[in-house]
Amino acid sequence: MKTEDKPVILVTNDDGYRAKGIQALIEVVKPFGKVVVVAPSEGHSGMSHAITVKVPLRIEKVEEKEGFEFYICSGTPVDCVKIAMNQLLKEKPSLLVSGINHGANSSSSIVYSGTMAAAMEGCLYEVPSIGFSLLDFSKEADFSSCINPARKIVGNVLKNGLLPDTCLNVNIPNVPENEMKGVKVCRQNKGVWREEFDKRTDPNNREYFWLTGEFYNLEPEADDTDEWALHHKYISIVPVQTDLTSYASLEQIKKWNF
Amino acid sequence: MKTEDKPVILVTNDDGYRAKGIQALIEVVKPFGKVVVVAPSEGHSGMSHAITVKVPLRIEKVEEKEGFEFYICSGTPVDCVKIAMNQLLKEKPSLLVSGINHGANSSSSIVYSGTMAAAMEGCLYEVPSIGFSLLDFSKEADFSSCINPARKIVGNVLKNGLLPDTCLNVNIPNVPENEMKGVKVCRQNKGVWREEFDKRTDPNNREYFWLTGEFYNLEPEADDTDEWALHHKYISIVPVQTDLTSYASLEQIKKWNF
């Protein structure tokens, strides 16, 4: 197959273009097509679906060779997707992959995640999209165990497609590949972050606060959630939708007295 | 009822503490209880569910009187909610309201919205939460027509409650109150933003891009969506859930070959 006939695969992340995780993700998708990387110039953890409206964006092409282009963008992960779709790509990509994030994006953490926001943005562009995360927050995380499992998931998405307005949230346990139990297709766990601030006093005797906190799993016994799967060394896949409507609530609220 | 027996209502927004919209929202909720405002020091439109992890947060109390407290926080709307829940409030509030946003947060715009992210964060804290938006982006928007309808919605939520893990996305058309057709309980419209960049050249002959774009309603005929309701001068209420799982996809993906 000639390069121009190969599917185009858009790669982005939220840890920035220098992160080890994005290098691993490029490895994952290389066999499947022409790879175009558009990654933030800096880390954007916790940026969620933020977009840049107060300052303009810059893009810089840093590498181009047969079947591969690499751009750096000054914005957020979602900005990267938007600028790729609007300015950089000549055609709609066959797939968008985001990550591999340094650290989990399971349970309700999805709402804070720049990695998953990029995948959801791809989904809004009607591109099959996957966010990948490894359960290791460290800069030096070892992504080698992710390559094969992630390739299998990418292969399935390219072959089978996804339902409209749906993308995938894939989390990978931080264990060697031969200790992984397999893949579990899950629902999003009900969990929350609490005790979230570290209060300190600056040299001028003024208070300041660092955001920190602890995750609480509110349903540790439920065996159909991503948290359960990861805790039991499975790779979790949660299909995620961009329609946030609580259909179960519609009839209740229609009965209210306005 | 003594002040200490009144329900506590937490107010925040994404346009910053000086915005006209938050003053209107304070008016809306004053009759219902003790009001605690925690608002960002600056505007944070498009910040979505971003949280501040790279720099510490500061909070400043700027007003305190019987039944009313006003704090400014250096972070995002979601930071404001977190710091209120963790540091400022002695008890869990009976209600969180966010807004009134200067501009619409209907359809898929919800994923970019700091206003709705604050409401969803309240929801993760198991506080009944409502995001309000007026369809007028201007700084000088007139919020007077919002007061009565928003009060009715707040009264209903305090009386009837919401389903667990559910909050409300309320959008208000920019028309005088007597031209509003009433309230419609809706699902989230399927719509997208496109043509999103204004490309320019700086004095050093380098390209830069401003994020802009146009909204496309992908189902203008559907009469059960928020876009339809607003277009026909109804106030739209979309119940929104924090569980993003696409349950319809679970069985499909379980059949894949991993």
Instruction: Return the residue of B nearest to A117 by Cα.
Output: B111
Fold of A3-188+221-245: Stationary-phase Survival Protein Sure Homolog; Chain: A, (3.40.1210)
Between chains, do A208 and B57 touch, taking CB under 8 Å as contact?
A: yes
Distance from the B30 Cα atom to the nearest Cα atom in chain A, whole angstroms: 19
Of all residues in chain B, the percent with pLDDT exceeding 70 is 98
Distance between CA A116 and CA B212 in Å, rounded? 22
Full-model pTM: 0.95
* Closest CA–CA distance from residue A167 to any residue of chain B (Å): 9
Interface contact B48-A51, CB threshold 8 A? yes
Q: Under an 8 A CB cutoff, do A82 and B211 touch? A: yes
User: Cα angle at B131 between A123 and B101, to 5 degrees?
Assistant: 90
Question: Which pLDDT score, from 0 to 100, does residue A106 have?
Answer: 97
CA A182 to the chain's CA centroid: 20
The SS3 of residue A45 is coil
If we measure between CA atoms, which residue out of B124, B83, B247 comes closest to residue A191? B124
**In this predicted model, what pLDDT tens digit does every residue of A68-120 receive, in sequence order?**
999 999 999 999 999 999 999 999 999 999 999 999 999 999 999 999 999 99
Q: Which residues pair with B185 in a beta bridge?
A: B237
Contacts of A53 in chain B (CB under 8 A): 45-46, 211
What residue segments make up the domains of chain A, in order of their start?
3-188+221-245
The yes/no answer on whether domain B3-188+222-254 falls in CATH 3.10.20.740 is: no
Chain B residue closest in CA terms to A210: B56
Spell out the per-residue pLDDT of chain A, length 258, in tens. 555 678 999 999 999 999 999 999 999 999 999 999 999 999 887 788 888 888 899 999 999 999 999 999 999 999 999 999 999 999 999 999 999 999 999 999 999 999 999 999 999 999 999 999 999 999 999 999 999 999 999 999 999 999 999 999 999 999 999 999 999 999 999 999 988 899 999 999 999 999 888 899 999 999 999 999 999 999 999 999 999 999 999 999 999 998
* ipTM tops 0.90: yes
Q: B4 pLDDT band (50/70/90 cuts)?
A: low
Q: Rounded to a whole number, what is the distance in Å from the CA of B35 to chain A's nearest CA? A: 23
Amino acid, single-letter form, for residue B121: E
Q: With contacts defined as CB-CB under 8 Å, which chain A residues touch B253?
A: 156, 168, 185, 237, 239
